[in-house]
Structure 1
């Protein structure tokens, strides 16, 4: 497995685990509560920071475990990365319509922010899955 494929797996793992914890924590407060009173800002900042930090630490750990593969990329890796990022961009572009619509409908900021965060999560996860599939099934 190339280092680029490992990075895609790590990114996918982080893109699933961290948001699941965030959404489980924050959305569990929604039933029976006015969402305007739910403190979501710092938990969201924390989730974003933990996601970035976990991605960095796990990628460094993978490079330490397999130092010969670290940093080696070829044209196929670059094409797969480009394709995954391209698809992720389109997912983000389409998913961003939801928070935009919520803002236009003057829905509470809580829902707008969480919809935007979910759009980023979906884009990251889609990008990783596209890359993993390209590595596994061919490009």
Structure 2
């Protein structure tokens, strides 16, 4: 009778410690918090190629979802009309974080003929960028920049 009681006590103590792991930095789901809106910063050089796509008007949301090989940065923008295409998160500074901050431009190609009067859902575009574990190790904040605002998610 003493052995099952001792085992039950050990299991109870072990499971009660799990609540602190759920809220710790060791849990990958807690690596980045929710995003917050900021004023649009000045942008640096992204690469040596010329990109004629326009910055999105404003970044509506930003989330960072953990994956088995790192994380996936996902951003949404609400456009003035439907038909915007080729959306992409373009990393600045050649994809290297500066001071732990990895910054992206959210760009998209304009439609040839805008479609006025469409629903908000039809005007929403999404872009994603995969981060490797090596990039995660050197990044403490992710910033996605649009024309009028930016969103920041931090650890």
| Structure-2-length-normalised TM-score | 0.24
Which structure ranks higher in relative contact order (CA pairs < 8 Å, sequence separation ≥ 6)? 1
| Structure-1-length-normalised TM-score | 0.26
Of Structure 1 and Structure 2, which has the larger fraction of its residues in helix? Answer: 1
Structure number with bigger Rg = 2
